[in-house]
C-alpha cells in the first residue's frame, strides 16, 4: 500500500540555500529598494513614503492571514499581498491541507490578479484601475468548490463479503467495491496496515485504510487532500483499537462495535 503523505525524492537536485529563492518574483520595485538617481534629480520615493508603504503592506498581510477581507492602500501593497497569498497557498498544498485542484484554482486566481495589476502599472502608474483587480473575493468560493466531498464509506472485516457498516450521501457501487476488495484480499504479501488513494474515474477518488482485522473504504468526489486521507486512516485505526476484542474473536454482531468512521459523513470532511 502507498502512503500519500510520503514525499518522493528527486536525485540530482541540489538543496536550496536560501528560502527566499522559493518566493515568486515581484517585478515592480519593492518599497524598501533604493531607486537609482541622476544628478540634480531627487529619488521618486522618499524614505518616509517607502516606510509608510511598507507599514501598509505589513498591515494588509496580517489581516489577510487572519482571514479578513483586505483592500490594499496602494498597488505596491497589493502586489506584495498577492505574493504572500501565493506563498500561503503553496504552503497549504505542501502541508497536505488542500488538494491539487484547490491549489491550481486559488494560485491561478492570485497569479491572474498580479499580472493584471503589473500590466496596468506598466501602462500608467497613476491609473486607479489596479484597485478593481486587487479587490478581494472569489478564492473562498474556489477553495470550497474544489474541495473533495465524501460520497460514501464502507467498513469490512477481512474476507467477509458483507460490510459491517456503511454511510454517506449515495449508495455505494458494490460491483466496484467488490473488485477492489478481491484484489486486496488476494494479495500474496498484504501489509497489516496501510493507506492508499486511487482515482476511480468520473471524478471519483477512493481512499483505502487497511488494518490488521478490517478495512475502511471512503469514496470522494474530487481528489481528497492528504489531510482528508489521513483522517480516514486515523478513524480506521481508532476503530480497530476500540473493537480489538470483537474483531479478534470474529464477532459480527453490530451491537458489539463502535464506528468512529461515522464522523466522515457527519463532518463532511471540512465543510
Contact (Cβ atoms closer than 8 angstroms) between residue 31 and residue 54: yes
Condensed to tens digits (0 to 9), the pLDDT of residues 248-257 reads 998 888 889 9
Residue 84 DSSP symbol = H
Predicted local confidence at residue 66, as pLDDT? 59
Domains and their CATH numbers in the chain: 44-145 (no CATH), 149-267 (3.30.450.50)
pLDDT averaged over every residue in the chain:
80
* Secondary structure in 3-state letters for 19-44: HHHHCCCCCCCCCCCCCCCCCCCCCC
Mean pLDDT in residue range 57-68: 61
Q: Please give the share of the chain, as a percent, with pLDDT higher than 70.
A: 72
String of DSSP letters for 160-172: -SS-SEEEESS--
Grid cell, residue 120, equals 496596468
Contact (Cβ atoms closer than 8 angstroms) between residue 215 and residue 181: yes
Residues 6+ apart with CB under 8 A from 233: 195, 209
Burial letters 227-257, b for 16+ CB under 10 A, else e? bbbbbbbebbbebbeebeebbeeeeeeeeeb
Higher pLDDT, 2 or 216: 216
Higher pLDDT, 51 or 171: 171
Higher pLDDT, 131 or 35: 131
HSE, CB side, 13 Å, CA atoms: give it for residue 245.
4
Predicted local confidence at residue 138, as pLDDT? 79
> Does the pLDDT at position 18 exceed 50?
no
Higher pLDDT, 22 or 117: 117
Condensed to tens digits (0 to 9), the pLDDT of residues 145-188 reads 999 999 999 999 999 999 999 999 999 999 999 999 999 999 98
Helices (H), the chain: 47-65, 75-94, 100-123, 130-134, 139-145, 174-185, 226-242, 244-249, 262-267
Condensed to tens digits (0 to 9), the pLDDT of residues 115-139 reads 999 999 999 988 888 888 888 877 8
Predicted local confidence at residue 67, as pLDDT? 60
> Does the pLDDT at position 69 exceed 90?
no
Contact (Cβ atoms closer than 8 angstroms) between residue 109 and residue 142: yes
Amino acid at each position: 500500500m502507498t502512503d500519500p503523505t510520503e514525499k518522493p525524492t528527486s536525485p540530482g537536485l541540489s538543496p536550496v540555500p536560501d528560502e527566499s529563492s522559493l518566493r515568486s518574483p515581484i517585478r515592480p520595485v519593492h518599497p524598501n529598494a533604493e531607486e537609482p538617481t541622476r544628478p540634480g534629480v531627487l529619488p521618486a520615493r522618499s524614505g518616509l513614503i517607502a516606510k509608510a508603504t511598507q507599514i501598509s503592506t505589513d498591515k494588509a498581510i496580517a489581516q489577510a492571514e487572519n482571514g479578513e477581507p483586505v483592500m490594499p492602500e496602494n498597488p505596491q501593497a497589493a502586489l506584495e499581498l498577492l505574493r504572500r497569498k501565493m506563498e500561503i497557498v503553496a504552503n497549504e498544498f505542501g502541508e497536505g491541507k488542500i488538494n491539487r485542484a484547490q491549489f491550481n484554482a486559488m494560485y491561478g486566481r492570485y497569479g491572474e490578479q498580479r499580472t493584471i495589476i503589473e500590466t496596468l502599472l506598466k501602462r500608467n502608474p497613476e491609473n486607479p484601475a489596479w484597485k478593481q483587480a486587487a479587490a478581494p473575493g472569489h478564492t473562498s468560493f474556489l477553495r470550497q468548490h474544489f474541495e473533495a466531498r465524501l460520497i460514501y464509506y464502507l467498513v469490512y472485516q477481512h474476507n467477509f463479503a458483507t460490510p459491517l457498516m456503511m454511510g454517506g450521501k449515495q449508495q455505494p457501487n458494490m460491483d466496484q467495491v467488490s473488485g477492489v476488495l478481491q484484489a486486496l484480499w488476494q494479495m500474496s504479501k498484504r501489509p497489516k496496515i496501510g493507506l492508499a488513494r486511487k482515482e476511480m474515474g468520473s471524478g471519483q477518488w477512493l481512499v483505502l485504510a487497511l488494518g490488521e482485522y478490517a478495512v475502511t473504504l471512503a469514496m470522494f468526489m474530487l481528489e481528497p487532500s492528504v489531510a482528508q486521507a489521513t483522517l480516514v486512516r486515523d478513524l480506521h485505526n481508532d476503530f480497530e483499537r476500540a473493537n480489538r476484542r470483537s474483531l479478534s474473536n470474529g464477532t459480527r454482531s453490530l451491537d458489539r462495535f463502535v464506528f468512529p468512521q461515522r464522523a466522515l459523513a457527519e463532518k463532511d470532511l471540512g465543510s
